Chain A
Amino acid sequence: QVQLVQSGSELKKPGASVKVSCKASGYTLSSYGMNWVRQAPGQGLEWMGWINTNTGNPTYAQGFTGRFVFSLDTSVSTAYLQISSLKAEDTAVYYCARLEDTDYIFDYWGQGTLVTVSS
């Protein structure tokens, strides 16, 4: 069965970097795009962008350019989100979500990774 398993919670200091992983199983990573979604504490869902897992080409939503990088390692069926120069406002749960591109739906989600930025 399809599963997206994300890496564990992270506690980082302001200015540091973090890399969140999302390992796909039960399907071929390159057959479906991968989205990233942020959820700040007590807030709603915010689409960060997606990566074309065929070409490796990322697309970033407004507000997620510059410090955010999506990448892949297809040899281990894993997508990554890296955030640099962390700020307190980056504290959130980050989800990966598979893109089913017939209806453009997010049909499978990872369990989420909590990133806490605090001095």
Chain B
Amino acid sequence: DIQMTQSPSSLSASVGDRVTLTCRASQSISSYLNWYQQKPGKAPNLLIYAASSLQSGVPSRFSGSGSGTDFTLTISSLQPEDFATYYCQQSYSTLSWTFGQGTKVEIK
């Protein structure tokens, strides 16, 4: 199975900060990388797919980049509603999709 490693596991940031989260795959996954946001007690919500495509309805302050094994999710100006846990997921290995362990974004 392809392993996905996210860093950091948690971070503290202030409203208005630029925040960058990292996801690394154990082998090349081309651009088959998706990002989800999960708030406490809620289901995950798709933010970014195919490494850099913004899902419909997602604010433009979210952006994704990368290919191969290294990927980033950037929030350009952190808003109060962005405090949540973020998961990357590889969709390269068909019928064997795996998630990273998550990055929790907390209020400083």
Question: A: which residues have CB within 8 A of B?
Answer: 35, 37, 44-47, 50, 59, 61-62, 95, 97, 103-107, 109-112
Contacts and interface: CB of A to CB of B under 8 A. Distances in A.
A35 to B, nearest CB: 8
Contact of B97 (A47, A62, A95, A110): A47
A42 B53 CA distance: 29
Contacts of A104: 32, 91, 94, 97
A53 to B, nearest CB: 14
Interface residues of B, number: 26
B1 to A, nearest CB: 7
Nearest to A109: B43
Contacts of B34: 103, 105-106
A109 B1 contact: no
